[in-house]
């Protein structure tokens, strides 16, 4: 299990980081991490795009879901069948957002271990044959941020970016002028809870992990804008 983790996550991320550091990042660890982040997000774009789209779609089809639940409130089987048909019609998978968490976690762990253990010790086990050993890597970014140590400002910036992404994912039903629907409530709660969770989790971690999360969140903001345009074109509002 550990071998597979290294093979699939740690070693590829380590080699990307070292390769970028020694080439296009001009021996700047922060820039190398940003490039790794963009590379990972581009590779995993279909998964993140699908997850962001599902979140918006679930809010959009809520009026139809509510109608189905009212029509078949006495028949759970018919209600489930009708909901599944609705999901299929709009291409909705209610469990897709869980996949995003599953994908992100091992990447964060790999980056955390690389920054905390591999780089300080200069133990380059796992480098591919075509990636040169870098020797000692300077952890300073922009001349004053030590990426090997915690930095509260990096975490705050990541939390703010995540807040804007979550706000962009909120859709308000124009036909509902009363109470918020369940998905609308969840989306609004997420917009405030997710940044707080980010602050709590990343507060004591190396700034390098916060830098990854910051640019991953900024990428999500751009992606959410694209998703919103596509969904708006489909639903007309």
pTM, rounded to two decimals: 0.82
Model pLDDT for residues 149-167, shown as the tens digit of each residue? 999 999 999 999 989 888 8
Model pLDDT for residues 67-107, shown as the tens digit of each residue? 887 887 777 888 788 878 877 777 777 666 666 667 788 99
The percentage of the chain sitting over the pLDDT mark of 90, rounded to a whole number, equals: 34
User: In whole angstroms, how far apart are CA 154 and each of 27, 102, 145, 146, 207?
Assistant: 21, 24, 9, 11, 6
> How many C-beta atoms lie closer than 10 Å to residue 163's C-beta?
19
- What distance in Å separates the CA atoms of residue 5 and residue 146, rounded to the nearest whole number? 27
């Amino acid at each position: 299990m550990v071998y597979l983790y290294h093979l699939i996550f740690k070693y590829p991320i380590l080699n990307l980081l070292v390769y970028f550091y020694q080439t296009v990042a001009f021996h700047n660890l922060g820039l190398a991490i940003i490039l790794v982040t963009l590379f990972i997000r581009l590779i995993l774009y279909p998964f993140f795009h699908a997850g962001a789209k599902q979140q918006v779609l679930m809010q959009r089809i809520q009026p139809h879901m509510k109608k189905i639940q009212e029509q078949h409130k006495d028949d759970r089987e018919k209600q489930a069948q009708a909901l599944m048909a609705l999901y299929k019609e709009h291409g909705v998978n209610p469990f897709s957002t869980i996949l995003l968490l599953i994908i992100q976690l091992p990447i964060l762990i790999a980056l955390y271990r690389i920054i905390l253990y591999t780089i300080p010790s200069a133990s380059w086990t796992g480098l591919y044959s075509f990636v040169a050993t870098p020797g000692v890597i300077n952890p300073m970014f922009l001349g004053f941020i030590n990426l090997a140590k915690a930095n509260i400002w990096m975490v705050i910036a990541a939390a703010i970016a995540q807040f804007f992404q979550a706000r962009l994912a909120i859709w308000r039903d124009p036909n509902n002028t009363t109470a918020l629907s369940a998905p609308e409530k969840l989306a609004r709660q997420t917009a405030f809870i997710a940044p707080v969770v980010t602050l709590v989790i990343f507060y004591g971690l190396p700034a390098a992990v916060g830098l990854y999360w910051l640019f991953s969140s900024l990428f999500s903001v751009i992606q959410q804008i694209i998703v919103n345009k596509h969904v708006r074109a489909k639903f007309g509002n």
